[in-house]
Structures are given as C-alpha cells and as structure tokens.
Chain A
Amino acid sequence: MLNLLIVEDEALIAMMMEDALISRGHRVVGVADTLPSALDLAGAHAIDLALCDVRLANGDSGVEVATRLAQQGIPVVYVSGNCPADAPHPLVIGCVNKPVPVAALHATVLAACRIAKADEPVAVPPALTLYR
C-alpha cells in the first residue's frame, strides 16, 4: 500500500483516479489542484508518490509542482494529455498519457516507486513512459 498524492485540476478525473487507486489498496492522502495546495498536502503527509497533471488550476504549472515535490524527495509521475519531453528532476520518473488506462494505474505507481528507490529492475507498464 502506498501513500499517494493526486495533483489534478479536473475533479472528475481526480475522483476516478482516487477510486481506482483506493480500490487497489492504496491510500490517497489528498487531491490538490494548485501548486500551493500540493505543497500544503506534501507538508502535512508522508507521501510515497505523487501523480501530477501538467496543467493545473489558476494557471499553475504541474512541472513546477513536480520539481518542488521532487526537491522534497517525493517521486512524481506526470499524468497528462501532453507529456513533457523531459524531467526537471531525477525523481520525476515518467509520464502516463491521458486518457489514463485505469487498470495500469496500480502497476504504474508500484513501478515508479520501485524505480525511485533504485530497487531491482521492474517491469514497466506500457502506459508509463520513463524519463531515464
């Protein structure tokens, strides 16, 4: 079970991801839709991995959120309709293109966490594009 943060400004997409992850036994510590709310949640909870959209509410940048979270030691996977070409920090592991294949979310967060911890090589789900 992983403690996960969802950073997504579309409420329905965030809810769907939350349901999918909870149904696989994970704990979603919260849903943020802006940079400040993401940092607040990151400050208040121990987070194993953040799933982060690239475009957020109030014009906030998911790349900025990912960078700040990664600087705090939190691995990040982008979930975006337009995956960025590269990662701003080594802990930004990869990207899942929207529409997110729900069945792959569980495998994606597990693989990303293991990659972030430099564990043994893991099978990378096809939905997850790695930056390294």
Chain B
Amino acid sequence: MALQQHVEIPLGGQTVDPELPQRRLALVAEAAEGLLAAEDPARMVDELFGLIQSELRLDVFFNYRLEAGRLVLEAHGGLTPEQAAAGAELDLGQAVCGCAARDRQRFHVTGVQQSEDPLVAFVRDVGLDAYACTPLLHGDRLIGTLGFGRKWADRFTDDELSFLHTLCHFVALAKYRLMVEQELRAGIEQRDKLLGELNHRVRNALQLAVSVVRLEVTSAEDRAFSDALLRAADRIEVIASAHRPLYASDDPSTVAVADLLTAAGGGSIDGPLTVKDGAGAKLPIEQGVALALLVHTAFAEGGVPDQPASVQIAEQPGGTGVTLTGVRPETDALSGRLARALLRQLNGVVEPGADGLTIRISNATKG
C-alpha cells in the first residue's frame, strides 16, 4: 500500500500550539464523560476514536477483547473488511497487540514501513508507519488491548503517547465497569432462576403432601379418621398458603398479617374471607403461620354457617388484636391442644366478643 506524505516528528522541542494542552484536557474530559456513560463496549471505543481522530491525526484503531485466552477484535476503525478479517483474532504474543497483552506492557512501534520484523508485518500490511498498543488492565486483570496507528508519520510524540495511555486507562475502567455490570446481571439472573426453581419445588412438594393426605381420605372408612385426615390436609394448605406472600416480598423476615390471612383464607375455609387491616401489622413468618392456623381453626370448627367470615386487624395497647367475625363467641375451637400451643407461641390470648372472637397478640412476639 502506498504511503501518504510522510512526516518526521521530532521527539523534543517547543510546543508550537499554545492551546494544545487546553484542547487535550478538554478532550480527556469529554472522553471520560462519554466512557463513564457508555453502555456498549465496542461503541464506546468507536466514539472515542471519532473524538480524538482529528486531533491526533489517527488513521486506524484496533480494540481487542480477551476471550478464552485469545484476543478477539471487538471494534476497529480505518480498516477495510479484509484487513479486519485478517486481524480478527490474535494469540497472546502474536503481532504487536498480542505482545502487549502477553507482556502487559505498552508497545510503541516506530518506522514500521522500514521494519522487517515479522511482529509488525500485520500493521505494516495495513499501511501504518507508527503504532501504539496499550494493554487494557484493571489491576492484574487483562481485559484486552487498544492500539492506534497512523500512516503519515513514523512515530507518536511522548505527549501523544501519554495522552493515548491516559485514554486507554479510562477505556479499561469503562470496560471493566461494563463487565462487572454484566457479571452482576448474570448473577442476579442465576439467583432468580434458582429461587424460582426452589419455590416451585417447595410448592410442588407441599402440593404432593396435601394430595397424599386427601387421597387417603377417599379410602378411609372410619369417619373420625377421615375427618382427622381432612383437617390435616387443610392445615398443610394453610401453612403453604401462608408462606405465599413471602415469595412476592423483598423482606423475607416478616409478612404482612393481612396478606398472610388473605392468602391462607383463599379457599381454606368455606366462603370468602374478608380481611381488613388498619394497622399494617407485620409478624415474623413463623408467628404468622401460627396465627393463620388459629384463624383457620376458629372458622373451620367454630364458624357460624351462612354468616360472612371476616377478620379485622387493629393495633391495641401492648400488641395487635385480630377480631374474627362469623365465629361463635362461645366456641371451644381454640381450646384444643394444638390451638393452645399456637397461642403460647404467639404469646396470645383469645377473648370472646359480641360477634365473634378476638385473638390478642403481645408485642413481645412481633418482629
């Protein structure tokens, strides 16, 4: 490939453009702003090249990404499709950028067109005379390389190299940020997948347990035995349903009492259950399940036929009151062994009222 007009750049000497430092500083600031906001690892370098190409009179850039021990061309500019295809992948140690990656060192190759070193054969074939490649590092982690080349001169000045290295450092930071974000997203996705699978398995296992018990009911000849099995199945359903609000909650430590009782009441008692909560009461899930079982037992064994079932939750001095309407006040449904144990767990008491019962839970049990 024919060279364009060739220029020898002196390594030292006075700065001829007094505005150069200010201009470079402005470019660094603009580049940093763009890189910090970048969402795409390839486009960020495209845009950076567009920003500095004119100022540094660059002809070409190569941006390689480290992938499975090889360098893969992620973005490029100033190359023909054939040249890009020829440089699509590099081994570590192959060509200039392969060496920069392997040695984790910056390379500045000068006078490329005069060189017969096979290491620069690729950039020489591209027509470059000066080439600077920088490994993109974050700490000890190699992310890739970023190289810039020019055809019209045989080298970069020290100032230019320093400027490019600074930008490459920003690019490495920006790419590292995108990698970490991607890894975080993948981790969250994997966690959600595992949680979903776990939820599914737990629910399915509980469903199987309920099914097994209910199927036993159909073959039980003894009425008392089948009633006991049905109660057991109902209670397993209540336990399972009471956990349901947790699956949609960001806080696995507590559960809203209203949500819990609504979920547990969704089919576990005959007829709809209305739940009202002016207090926004919450309980640890273990206490919530105990309360749900108590409420279920009260309605299932002490409910008034054909009377709507409702629950009113209210803050009361020293605790929370859960008033059940549609339950016979005189019922002994909550005096059995299981109910007493649950009340003890809740540090609660049952008080009969005009239209039903109130379960008072001491604050000592609240989460």
Residues of A within 8 A of B (CB): 10, 12-13, 15-16, 19-20, 55, 80-82, 97-105, 107, 123, 125-127
- Other CB < 8 Å A-B pairs besides A12-B211, A12-B212, A81-B200, 14 of them? A10-B207, A16-B211, A19-B215, A55-B200, A81-B201, A81-B207, A82-B196, A82-B199, A97-B203, A99-B203, A99-B237, A103-B268, A107-B267, A126-B265
Q: Which of B215, B244, B262 has the largest count of A CB atoms less than 10 A from its CB?
A: B215
Return the chain B residue nearest A101 by Cβ: B267
**Any A CB within 8 A of the CB of B266:** yes
Is B231 among interface residues, defined by CB-CB distance under 8 A? no
Chain B positions within 8 Å of A82 at CB level: 196, 199-200, 203
Contacts A12-B215, A13-B208 given: A102-B203 contact, CB under 8 Å? Answer: no
Query: Which bracket fits the contact residues of B?
Result: 20 to 34
Name the one of A13, A97, A102, A126 contacting B262, with C-beta atoms under 8 angstroms. Answer: A126
B206 near A103 with CB under 8 A, answer no
Query: Nearest chain A CB to B315's CB is how many angstroms away?
Result: 24
Please encode chain B, from 250 to 269, with 1 for each CB lying within 8 Å of some chain A CB and 0 for all others: 00000000000011011111
Chain B interfacial positions (CB closer than 8 Å to A): 196, 199-204, 206-208, 210-212, 214-215, 218, 233, 236-237, 240-241, 244, 262-263, 265-270, 272-273
CA–CA, A20 to B265, complex, Å?
Answer: 18
Contact status B199-A81, CB under 8 Å: yes
Partner of B236, one of A12, A55, A97, A99: A99
Contact A15 B215 (CB under 8 A): yes
**A9 CB, nearest partner CB in chain B, Å:** 10
B207, B208, B265: most-surrounded residue (chain A CB, <10 A):
B207
Tell which of A16, A104, A123 touches B266, judged by Cβ atoms closer than 8 Å.
Answer: A104
A–B pairs, 23, beta carbons within 8 Å: A10-B207, A13-B204, A13-B207, A13-B211, A19-B214, A55-B200, A81-B204, A82-B199, A98-B204, A98-B207, A99-B203, A100-B210, A102-B214, A102-B233, A103-B268, A103-B270, A104-B267, A105-B267, A126-B263, A126-B266, A126-B267, A127-B266, A127-B267
